[in-house]
Chains A and B, each alone.
Chain A
Amino acid sequence: MQTTSVERTSSPPPGQKANKPNKITADWIISNSAALVLAAFFALPMLWMVLASVDHGATNQLKAPDLTAEHYWVAVQADNLAALGNSLLISTVATVVGTAAAFIAAYVFSKHNIPFKNPLLLTVLFLSGVPISILIVPVYKMFATLGWLSIIPTGILLGVTAIPFQIYQLKNFIDAVPPELEEAAALEQANTFQILFRVILPLTKPGLASSAIFGFVNAWGNFLMPVVLINSLADQPAPVHLFGFMGSNSINYGVIAAYSIVYSFPLIVLFLGMSRQFKAGFSLGGAVK
């Protein structure tokens, strides 16, 4: 459920092999066949899904498709798009709330002196490891009592569940900002907010981007929270809608495949499109380094 952003290099480790001739040795054969098997392991299920989404008579069998775009046409019907819109709303709320709060908190943890810092950071670390499904009962009870069983509070909640990890992630980026810059700004009478937004923020944009993506992905993929915490059925996001397709009387593989692809597409674009940003840095779990 929890996702982590990582430096993404689709190009492999450049290290040793460039200068090595590709001799056909036992090693080479083993490596290549292992990689081939693994490539098939990862690629074939996806290949099936892509083919099924354009196959008129789609089943769960892998076969050459009888080409059609009808499933995509169904997938972009109004109510299906509305579900995607709900997902977008939830994820945007979650991203903005989570990233903003985490950013300024990370700044304090990184650059300021506060009492009980280590216990506080440990608490945050602890929270980042708690599976969020345990929140479902108390939060449900709380939202039901307060009349909050709707889309915006759910978005905020999902944003909050990402905060602990985001704090660690952002703290690493802010740690990397040299203290001299801050000191220089302080000498020029800049106040804390000015330092935060004029000095720290511009220098940690890649960090903010990866943190925001983490928040977005975390909310976009969540299934359990919306299904329980959003009472109105018209406000359900795409994963719940997708689940409705799967639970219906007869599974229509073509439509589900097409809708899955449409639903997954933003994440793929986000990840791959932003992969360069990530090179600026990643550290696992923040806690390790």
Chain B
Amino acid sequence: MNSKHSMSANQGPVAATGPQVGSNTSNQAHARVRLDEPRVNPISFVLLSPAALLLGTLFLGPVLYAIYLGFTNLQLIGIHAINYRFTGLSNVAFLLNDAIFYKSLWLTVIFVVGSGAIATTLLGLILALALQNCVAPIRWIASATAILAWTLPPTTIAFLWMATSTQSGLIALLAGNQRLDLLYQHAMLVVSTANAWSLAGLAMTMFSAALRNIPGDLREAAQLEGASSVQSLRRITLPMLKPTIVTCALLMMLMTFGNFTLIYLMTGGGPGNDTNILPVYTYQQGFKFHNLGYAALLGNVMVLLSALLGGLFVWASKSQRQGEPQ
């Protein structure tokens, strides 16, 4: 009976996500393995049931439940904390007139694309390229610290960057202006940098691995033909890295999108609403202004966005597999 439940629990959102995700993607490898074993073994469902049950009750279930809550007037405290009810489209109407929501949506795009897709990927790429031809001590320090930065928990990163970017901190010191207060003057820039700082180590390892796969003779041939290093970078290295760049950018976007802690701890969404990305705004609406129902609706918007990102991810990896010989 467990398995039956789990099946139904798992099927729900497939219908919802199906359209943008495309059709049968990820599993050609499996189809091959399974040709010799067409029979469905009941034990499979037993083995699937713990994961299905857990995901169904604590992940998918809540996601579906949130869809409902998004259309209610549930409050954290207040008269609608217990006696809440379905309020139809009134939350949606509110959402459509909520200037902060639009701002928040825009900031989320800036943060996810600017910091995640562009800054982090670029930083990782430059790091990996620079480390190729560089003396051992620098190479060691740069790669070790980049990876260390990636292993640090978000709370530590937030503290580190708060100290670094406020008055008389490291940035002020380097800029030679003790009164420089970058975190308050350009909050989005600082949190984006902090985010890129914390993820670039991962991007770097991805690019380093990809660089190793580029055959050395390709470049040597180019050198023999008198190509400058800029030319060989543009003509050989970057085209070869293209699939990694796409994958990396998408993965960094997904990871940046989920980054609530960093921004919440560094700025709380402020100053004003300058860094109020959707995850922070959702928390603020739900737990500071006590509008849990509306917060659930904002969460639903985030699910849609992440489904979009996920769809992109699947699409990119599919077209990669088709286009690439490797």
B14 touches A9 (CB 8 A): no
A105 touches B52 (CB 8 A): yes
Interface check B135, CB cutoff 8 A: yes
Q: Given that A97-B54, A102-B51, A105-B52 are known contacts, is A43 also in contact with B145, CB under 8 Å in the complex?
A: yes
B153 touches A60 (CB 8 A): no
The DSSP consensus for interface residues of chain A is helix
Question: Using Cβ atoms and an 8 Å threshold, which residues of chain A touch B164?
Answer: 44-45, 48, 60
B:156-183 near A, CB below 8 Å: 156, 159-164, 166, 168-170, 173
B138 touches A32 (CB 8 A): yes
Q: What number of B residues sit within 8 Å (CB to CB) of A?
A: 127
A141 touches B173 (CB 8 A): no
Q: Given that A49-B160, A264-B153 are known contacts, is A223 also in contact with B13, CB under 8 Å in the complex?
A: no
B47 touches A119 (CB 8 A): no
Interface check A268, CB cutoff 8 A: yes
A:102-146 near B, CB below 8 Å: 102, 104-105, 107-127, 129-142
Q: Given that A130-B63, A133-B279, A246-B159 are known contacts, is A8 also in contact with B147, CB under 8 Å in the complex?
A: yes
User: In the assembly, what is the distance between CA of A101 and CA of B130, in Å?
Assistant: 41
- Which of A38, A164, A222, A260 has the largest number of chain B CB atoms within 10 A? A38
Query: Which of B13, B130, B173, B299 interacts with A137 by CB under 8 Å?
Result: B299
Q: What number of A residues sit within 8 Å (CB to CB) of B?
A: 118
What is the count of residue pairs linking A and B with beta-carbon distances less than 8 angstroms? 378
A45 touches B161 (CB 8 A): yes
Question: Using Cβ atoms and an 8 Å threshold, which residues of chain A touch B24?
Answer: 118
User: In the assembly, what is the distance between CA of A178 and CA of B150, in Å?
Assistant: 34
- B-contacting 9-mer, from A67-75, A153-161, A201-209: A153-161
A38 touches B166 (CB 8 A): no
User: In the assembly, what is the distance between CA of A286 and CA of B188, in Å?
Assistant: 32
Interface check B50, CB cutoff 8 A: yes
Task: Add 7 more A-B contacts to A117-B27, A285-B313 (CB < 8 A).
Answer: A2-B254, A13-B208, A42-B142, A118-B23, A126-B310, A129-B309, A137-B69
Binding site for B on A (CB under 8 A): 1-4, 6-10, 12-17, 22, 27-28, 30-32, 34-36, 38-39, 41-46, 48-49, 52, 59-62, 97, 100-102, 104-105, 107-127, 129-142, 156-157, 159-161, 163-164, 167, 175, 179, 192, 196, 217, 220-224, 228, 238-239, 242-243, 246, 253, 256-257, 260, 263-264, 267-268, 271-272, 284-285, 287-288
